[in-house]
Chain A
């Protein structure tokens, strides 16, 4: 039973992430939305793992890999945003 709730939570996160991405006005919001979506996808993977005890180790490994990929993508996105802000500040003054 608890598996179903968490998969609904996961899908909820994914859908909210997609909504946020469509609605975002600022680069940072877009990055946050994508990270919310990835948290949702990882949670979905984990609910797949937790369907039958013992919890399946392969999706958990995938999630670990996914988290590191998500953080590096976030870091790269933020670096680009910082540079964009600096360049626009330069072009103004």
Chain B
């Protein structure tokens, strides 16, 4: 029964995504919406399964493809299901969305589910490629030259990233003759070709996760995209590439991921945090601020990964729930960033302008979106009563255990920066001098979806202990 369910998890969104090309435009939103909700249901159901290793087509792994459902994959599938489901509800309410959005979104979703499940390195490349094609297409949905240029730049960076990743896969196959992650991890020896493959694949994935030196494409792409699309990109698509990084560093290239290697990650992460924060403080546009905050938060995630790698390398440190913390931080960012982007999009639609100077009145008139944004900022900054706070506590205690003072300081400064640019926005909502202007009518339901996502970020904090002990 479980194999049938997992198969459906991947096949259902892809099939319905393909079918949306045939369904006439009027019914597409309904068909797409329903398919999305069913996928969300499947995703949540998948979380309840017990971890297992599944072989496709009864061909044992070195030859065939393996699906692995361990704690990390399950939680990410669950996060994608929850955030994806709610963003689909928002997209269903957003009338301005072109119908092809649904086909692309379901394709991306199917790709992400397949990506989280796969245990094969080349299959990971193919799913990542499908995800990138769908995401680039979604960015290009917005009319206007800006979006097309941003989409083209996104395509270029992701193609280069994929090529480097594939080059790494070729070297790995040349060296070990095996493509399955678990088998690779077993045979991995720190010799020159493996190190080269490791470096190439890491750079490839760093480009796709938009970590500091290779982040150029993200602000335009996420700022120019439609609201629902930018939420999907920031909250979910980035995480798929980061998941790849997690798999490589924590599992496939275990012996190679030494402490000095984690220093490289840490430096990149710190640069991302400070540069992203600085730009977020400087920018004058709403969605660009949220996009730059994604760059900074991705930095925090990579910093957490660096710490976990360091912990695993020393391995004397008691495994204080290493990967759970990482997945927890991913869930925090997914929920908070999706809520922030949706709320920002609604407010921007009401004020019909993206400039921070002109949205004062719209902010003032959409209290629910402001609360959603406030909760999202609080969760990202790691202030209490949110999942973010627990995530930050875990990160700090891990840094303290490893005596990694630099990273301890960076993560603290990072969350302070988050508060700084987050409050820049909240200040606007409390200033009641915004000049009254005609606001575009936007259905309140969309604010509630954003608030619902933000509240999940808060409620998640309470339900956490079954995640930490259970999974």
**Residue from A21, A48, A76 in contact with B160 in the complex, judged by beta carbons closer than 8 Å:** A21
Contacts of A38 in B (CB 8 A): 163, 166
Task: Give the docked Cα–Cα distance between A30 and B217 (Å).
Answer: 15
- Are B145 and A88 in contact, with the CB atoms below 8 A? yes
Interface size on B, as a range, is 20 to 34
Q: Which of A34, A41, A65, A80 has its CB near the most chain B CB atoms (within 10 A)? A: A80
Cβ B170 vs Cβ A76 within 8 A: no
- Cβ of A59 within 8 Å of any chain B Cβ, yes or no, is yes
**Interface pair A73/B173, CB less than 8 Å apart:** no
Which residues of B from 408 to 465 have beta carbons under 8 Å from A? Answer: none
Residue of B nearest to A38 (CB): B163
The interface centre, meaning the residue of B149, B155, B167, B170 with most chain A CB atoms within 10 A of its CB, is B170
Among A17, A34, A84, which residue has its beta carbon within 8 angstroms of that of B149?
Answer: A84
Closest to B152 in A: A80
By the criterion CB–CB under 8 Å, are A45 and B159 in contact? no
- If over half of B's interface residues share one DSSP class (helix, strand or loop), that class is named, otherwise mixed; here it is helix
Taking the complex as formed, is B94 at the interface, i.e. its CB lies under 8 A from any CB of chain A?
Answer: no
Contact call A84/B145, Cβ cutoff below 8 A: yes
A30 touches B156 (CB 8 A): yes
Binding site secondary structure of chain A: helix
Q: How large is the interface on A (under 10, 10 to 19, 20 to 34, 35 or more residues)?
A: 20 to 34
- Residues from chain A with a CB closer than 8 A to the CB of B265 are none
Given A38-B163, A87-B144, A87-B145, does the pair A45, B173 have CB atoms closer than 8 Å? yes
Q: B residues touching A (Cβ–Cβ < 8 Å)?
A: 63, 122, 126, 129, 133, 136-137, 140, 144-145, 148-149, 151-152, 155-156, 159-160, 163, 166-167, 170, 173-174, 179
Since A58-B179, A73-B133 are in contact, a sample of 8 more A-B pairs with Cβ atoms closer than 8 Å, ordered by chain A residue number, is A31-B156, A34-B159, A34-B160, A44-B167, A58-B63, A62-B122, A83-B140, A87-B148
